[in-house]
Amino acid sequence: MPFFQEPPRLGNQFDDDPMLPSWVARHIPEAHVGEVTTELHELGALAADLYPKQLADRLNEPRLTQWDAWGNRIDQIEVSPLWQEAQVLAARHGMVAAGYESRLGIAARTHQFAIVHVLGPSLDIYSCPLAMTDGAARTLMASGNHALADRYVPKLTSRDPAQMWTSGQWMTERTGGSDVSQSETVARLDGDQWRLYGTKWFTSATTSQMALTLARPDGNPEGSRGLALFLVELREGNGRLRNIQVNRLKDKLGTRKVPTAELTLDGTPATMVGAASDGVRQITPMLSITRTWNAISAVSAMRRGLALARDFARRRKAFGALLIDKPLHADTLASLEAEYAAAFCLAFRCAQLLGEPTESPLARALIPIAKLTTGKQAVAVCSEAIEACGGAGYVEDTGLPRILADAQVLPIWEGTTNVLSLDTLRALAKGGAMEAVIAEVEACAAAATDASLARPVEVARSAVRHAAAWVAEAMSAPDRLEAGARRFALTLGRSLELALLARHAQWCLDHPLPAAGLKGHGPRTAAAARRFAQSAIDLVGDASLDDTKLLA
Ligand code: MFK
């Protein structure tokens, strides 16, 4: 009988997760832990059931039809079958709605992102429109425009698939996605109606029913302060786009199921959300939400890659043994699991902070730090995960390469690593934020009292102190500060991850058997903290600016 390798299989994505069950047990109010655990267990089974469908749907991509047979411009986008199913599942399982429900109080966001974490990787990046939908709901609620909030938030947060709307977020133009101050789209009043004219260059999920976007009202000054925030309903009742042309869909490295388009707005009717200026400031609630989604999605992507790599290691024999029994392979997987566990803690800490009624200085600082740190980790871990499957990991019809291609967007959209490093400096410059980050690490250190956690705690404390000392000194030299911003932000990210992981390990050690599924979580989580502490946590250091000039 010739040899055929069994492909990796996906198990229940809640039960098999080494972090989520204990995090839920710790952070969901005690009265609701049972019900939420049952819900997540069911979603874990659904995520596994969807995986073969995902593989079968691999080659289906969105299609744009610009003209009908009679020469009418129609610009219709058809999404993949799995995306159509995702739309229903996302509404039904409250992937946005759960974050707005009061039943779990301050833990609503933990509940929501636990659902996203378990189900998201099986929905082919449908998380993209959901993230923007969540961001649009939060932005409208924060806008003070009660009429708009009352009209649209119930649609955006509905659990009824027939009622739920998704929203886009159109910020990027040909002038750029990072420096949006140069946006060229203008807004003109036509009677009482604002109309938008311009080109939007990277509109993800163009099948949404509405979008929030920036445009410069006629006569406003150059720069970002002259931009205003607008809400656009994309279609008439008959489905026709409202003075919007879809020029083409983007041909991307990954996220190929997402219908990302280039649009021309040619008198598109729009509603001004707030004041006629300061649109960037008005859209910042969107940024906090989508960046948290990004961090959670980074962690989920790592989980998916590792779940398949671990299963593969239990099925694949080489050199006389299963890969899982090979010391070097097991060591490699262990380090990746530690990286995942650490990233998980930071992303879910952000989710928890989002549940607070107003954005604290700690949340303002942690969200960009988490986004940039976990985005980089996702690419590195997903790359290792496909390598752990050998050549199969590099062959498209195994489905494995998509994991890496999709992960590569995570450090790019919603603010690149460098843009978010600078945003971290901006957040920390506001009163009390650096102190809040240090206090967070110190609080974790004080709670993680088990002797086996002493080294992780010390590594985290020393790295964060080093980072704080560096930034205090670099403040006086703007070029030095900017050049070192990424190393600084990643140091904060990794030391926060380590401190949060050590603290969670302590909780797991203290609660060994609250549920059968949590057996062994204490020693395992502590091992993750010890292993992560051996990785590079403190990256702070001044590189020579002269060398940079020579090299770059
Ligand atoms: C799974 C996840 C899926 C995610 C879906 C993604 C699909 C969408 C694809 C995309 O659209 S990707 C493109 C996304 N683009 C960005 O994320 C923008 C990246 N650039 C930045 O973040 C820049 O830093 C920024 C545009 C904000 C800089 O613009 P400005 O005009 O130079 O901002 P400025 O003057 O620094 O800040 C304006 C105000 O906003 C200030 O407040 P004040 O006026 O009161 O001083 C800032 O403090 C405030 N601000 C800026 N960033 C903030 C913020 N406030 C809170 N949080 C922030 N992050």
Cα 161 to Cα 152: distance, rounded to the nearest angstrom: 15
Decide: 535 and 491 in contact? Cβ < 8 Å: no
Cα 80 to Cα 259: distance, rounded to the nearest angstrom: 10
Q: Domain range holding 233?
A: 168-282
Look at ligand 1, atom 28, and give the residue with the nearest C-alpha. Answer: 179
DSSP state of 214: E
Compute, in angstroms, the gap from residue 169 CA to the centroid of ligand 1: 12
Sign of the CA dihedral with 364 first, then 366, 368, and 369 last: positive
The vertex-206 CA angle with 201 and 208, nearest 5°, equals 140
pLDDT tens-digit map of 445-488: 999 999 999 999 999 999 999 999 999 999 999 999 999 999 99
| Residue from 91, 155, 431, 130 nearest 286 by CA | 130
In a mutational test of the pocket of ligand 1, which residue from 95, 133, 281, 410 has the highest number of ligand atoms less than 8 Å from its CB? 281
Quick one: pLDDT at residue 199?
A: 97
What pLDDT band is residue 34 in, cutting at 50, 70 and 90? Answer: very high
Per-residue tokens: 311: 């299963």
Look at ligand 1, atom 57, and give the residue with the nearest C-alpha. Answer: 284
Decide: 270 and 230 in contact? Cβ < 8 Å: yes
Cα 503 to Cα 505: distance, rounded to the nearest angstrom: 5
| 387 part of a folded domain | no
Decide: 376 and 417 in contact? Cβ < 8 Å: yes
Look at ligand 1, atom 23, and give the residue with the nearest C-alpha. Answer: 178
| Residue from 44, 24, 215, 204 nearest 120 by CA | 44
Look at ligand 1, atom 17, and give the residue with the nearest C-alpha. Answer: 414
Strand-strand pairing, 167-170 and 210-217: parallel
Has this prediction a pTM greater than 0.95?
yes
DSSP state of 264: E
194 CB within 6 A, ligand 1:
no
Residue 516 has pLDDT above 80, yes or no: no
In a mutational test of the pocket of ligand 1, which residue from 414, 416, 424 has the highest number of ligand atoms less than 8 Å from its CB? 414
Compute, in angstroms, the gap from residue 282 CA to the centroid of ligand 1: 10
Quick one: pLDDT at residue 206?
A: 86
Look at ligand 1, atom 8, and give the residue with the nearest C-alpha. Answer: 204
Residue 517 has pLDDT above 80, yes or no: no
Compute, in angstroms, the gap from residue 423 CA to the centroid of ligand 1: 8
Least confident of 201-210, 260-269, 296-305, 323-332: 201-210
| 511 part of a folded domain | yes
pLDDT tens-digit map of 532-544: 999 999 999 888 9
Compute, in angstroms, the gap from residue 173 CA to the centroid of ligand 1: 14
Quick one: which H or E segment has residue 247?
Answer: strand 244-249
Q: Find the CATH number of the domain harbouring 270.
A: 2.40.110.20
Tally of domains within the chain: 2
Quick one: pLDDT at residue 71?
A: 96
What pLDDT band is residue 172 in, cutting at 50, 70 and 90? Answer: very high
166 CB within 6 A, ligand 1:
no
Output phi, psi for 193, to 5 deg.
-100, 125
178 CB within 6 A, ligand 1:
yes
Cα 479 to Cα 485: distance, rounded to the nearest angstrom: 10
Look at ligand 1, atom 5, and give the residue with the nearest C-alpha. Answer: 128
pLDDT tens-digit map of 88-129: 999 999 999 999 999 999 999 999 999 999 999 999 999 999
Cβ neighbours, 10 Å, residue 493 = 30
| 196 part of a folded domain | yes
Output phi, psi for 216, to 5 deg.
-100, 110
Domain termination site, one of 225, 259, 282: 282
Compute, in angstroms, the gap from residue 100 CA to the centroid of ligand 1: 23
Decide: 23 and 107 in contact? Cβ < 8 Å: no
Domain termination site, one of 249, 282, 315: 282
Quick one: which H or E segment has residue 167?
Answer: strand 167-170
Compute, in angstroms, the gap from residue 411 CA to the centroid of ligand 1: 15
What pLDDT band is residue 205 in, cutting at 50, 70 and 90? Answer: confident
Q: Kindly report the three-state secondary structure assignment for every residue of 478-527.
A: HHHHHHCHHHHHHHHHHHHHHHHHHHHHHHHHHCCCCCHHHCCHHHHHHH
Compute, in angstroms, the gap from residue 133 CA to the centroid of ligand 1: 17
- What residues have CB less than 8 Å from 169, skipping those under 6 apart? 132, 135, 136, 204, 211, 212, 213, 283, 286, 290
Domain termination site, one of 248, 282, 316: 282
Average pLDDT, the chain: 96
Least confident of 206-210, 255-259, 298-302, 428-432: 428-432
Cα 90 to Cα 78: distance, rounded to the nearest angstrom: 18
| 317 part of a folded domain | no
Quick one: pLDDT at residue 515?
A: 64
| 262 part of a folded domain | yes
189: region left, alpha or beta (phi > 0 left; psi from -120 to 50 alpha): beta
Cα 406 to Cα 416: distance, rounded to the nearest angstrom: 15
Cα 454 to Cα 273: distance, rounded to the nearest angstrom: 51
Per-residue tokens: 280: 């960037």
Compute, in angstroms, the gap from residue 271 CA to the centroid of ligand 1: 21
Decide: 277 and 225 in contact? Cβ < 8 Å: yes
